[in-house]
Amino acid sequence: MNRVSRKYAEGESPRERIVNAARRLFGSKGFYATTTAELAVEAAVSIGQIYRLFTGKDDIILAIVEENVRVRVAGMYSIFDAVERGDLAMFDAIKAIAGSSLDNTDSSLFYEILAEACRNPLVAERFEAQTAFYREGIRRLAALARPDVSSAELEAYSDIMMACFIGLGHRTAVSPPVDAEATSHNTACLMMRALGLAEQDGASCKVSRGQFE
């Protein structure tokens, strides 16, 4: 039996250790290049323990997808609740979600999951179902921003906003270091304009030129 590594927090369950180890290995080495034996060593568990908790690497990928979406959607909904209570302006809500999207430490892992979804129907089905939760959250934000528009226009806003937020999540993976504060601010400015709401935050909606120089 492997000794528990000091890298894990005290009290962390074997399942949590396996999932966290998979995040690191799948993201750095790739899904297929990571063996179950390597995963067992990294998680400080036995191979048998992995198969007692998961049916295989595909099952671990699904667990990662579900956890990622759960955390992201929970954060989004706390922002939406604040907007509905009047505690947070729409500009600040969009900026907060953009900032959260930029804080994507698992960007390389996301590409691995997406690639596996293209090959594995089970992963694709679960990935699509979880993405639907995220999309519903974005639609709620669009509805809060523009409750006056038609259902078709609301769907169009949702598509554009979702593409923007997901795209921001990958920028840190393919670009040099990003100024998260400036980028999230500029994203909120431009999205407010696209929503026809820039006049609500005229003082705030000033795009930083330094971001594009």
**Which range marks the domain in which residue 130 is found?**
57-211
One domain, residues 151 and 49: no
Average pLDDT of the chain to the nearest whole number: 83
Q: How confident is the model at residue 201 (pLDDT cuts 50, 70, 90)?
A: low
Overall domain count for the chain: 2
- Rounded Cα distance, 123 and 121, in Å: 5
One domain, residues 139 and 169: yes
CATH number at residue 29: 1.10.10.60
Q: Does any domain span residue 4?
A: no
- Rounded Cα distance, 101 and 184, in Å: 9
One domain, residues 164 and 143: yes
Q: Residue 62 pLDDT more than 50?
A: yes
Contact between 96 and 79 (Cβ < 8 Å): yes
Q: How confident is the model at residue 42 (pLDDT cuts 50, 70, 90)?
A: very high
One domain, residues 85 and 159: yes
Q: Does any domain span residue 6?
A: no
Verdict on whether the full-model pTM lies above 0.95? no
One domain, residues 97 and 198: yes
Contact between 113 and 61 (Cβ < 8 Å): yes
One domain, residues 22 and 41: yes
Q: Residue 105 pLDDT more than 70?
A: no
One domain, residues 36 and 140: no
Q: Percentage of the chain surpassing pLDDT 90?
A: 39
One domain, residues 67 and 153: yes
To 10 degrees, what angle do helices 14-29 and 57-85 make?
100
Please state the three-class secondary structure of 103-159 as a single string: CCCCHHHHHHHHHHHHHCHHHHHHHHHHHHHHHHHHHHHHHHHCCCCCHHHHHHHHH
